[in-house]
Amino acid sequence: MSALQTLGDVVAVAFLLLGALLCLTAGIGLLRFPDVLTRMHAGTKPQVLGVLLIMVGGAIRLQGWSATWMLLLVAVFQMLTAPVSAHMVSRVAYRRRHVRRDRLLVDEQHTAGQDRLYRGDEPADAPPEEPATALAERVRENREDGTR
């Protein structure tokens, strides 16, 4: 019995260490990667694999059924919700042109002229896709603001 418990402890601690390592690499990836989409890959990785490892490790160590069920619930929630938020953020990121297009090998979703004029959250170095139209729209809007 005690040998089994020691084995369980070793496995649990190994899982916890691996999960913590994945969290560290997530931080490194967040800092090193060039744009929002690649950083999201770094961010979602511990959300899934790391959380799964840590939950399993914690469940082995805790030994109470109540805590085990709740950890299972956390893991299931993570697996259900992480793709949804990743999808929403990446969709908006692509449309608002946070993507470093020079770092893409292929871009089969190329959508020209989707957003001509931006105001709000775009990075400062993102040029408008149609500069002439954007300029005309900005001039017109400024004029409308003036007359109001």
Partner 1 sequence: MTSDPAPGPGSRLAHQLRHQLPLLVWLVAVWNLLWGTWSWANLLAGIVVALVVTWLLPLPPVVGGARLRPLGLLVFLGTFLADLVYSGAEVAWQTVRPSGIDRSAILRVQLRTDSDLLLTILSESVTLVPGSMVMDLDRERGVLVLHVLHVRDDDDVERQRASVLAQEERIVRAFGTDDEIAALSRAPGEPFPAAERRTP
Partner 2 sequence: MTIVYWLTYGMLGGGALLALVRLGLGPSLLDRVVATDTLLVIIAAGLAVHAGLARDPTLVPVLVVVSLLAFVGSVLVARYIGGMLLRSADDGQDVGLPEAAEERAARASEGER
Structure tokens that stand for 147 in this block: 């007359």
**Between 21 and 104, whose beta carbon lies closer to partner 2?**
21
20 binds, among partner 1, partner 2, none (CB under 5 to 8 A by kind): partner 2
State CA 13 to chain mean position distance. 27
- Nearest distance from C-beta of residue 63 to partner 1, angstroms: 13
Q: Give the footprint of partner 1 on this chain (CB under 8 A).
A: 21-22, 25-26, 28-29, 32-33, 37-38, 40-42, 44-45, 48-49, 52, 65-67, 69-70, 72-73, 79-80, 82-83, 86-87, 90-91, 94, 99, 103-109
Least distance CB 95 / partner 1 (angstroms): 9
CA atoms lying within 13 Å on the CB side of residue 68: 8
Nearest to 19, CA basis, from 62, 48, 60: 48
Q: CB nearer to partner 1: give 25 or 134.
A: 25
What does 7 bind: partner 2, partner 1, none (CB cut-off 5 to 8 Å by kind)?
none
> Which of partner 2, partner 1, none interacts with 49 (beta carbon under 5 to 8 A by kind)?
partner 1
Token output for 104: 């893409």
Cβ burial 113-138 (10 Å sphere, 16+ → b, else e): eeeeeeeeeeeeeeebbeeeebeeee
| Alpha carbon distance 44, 29 (integer Å) | 11
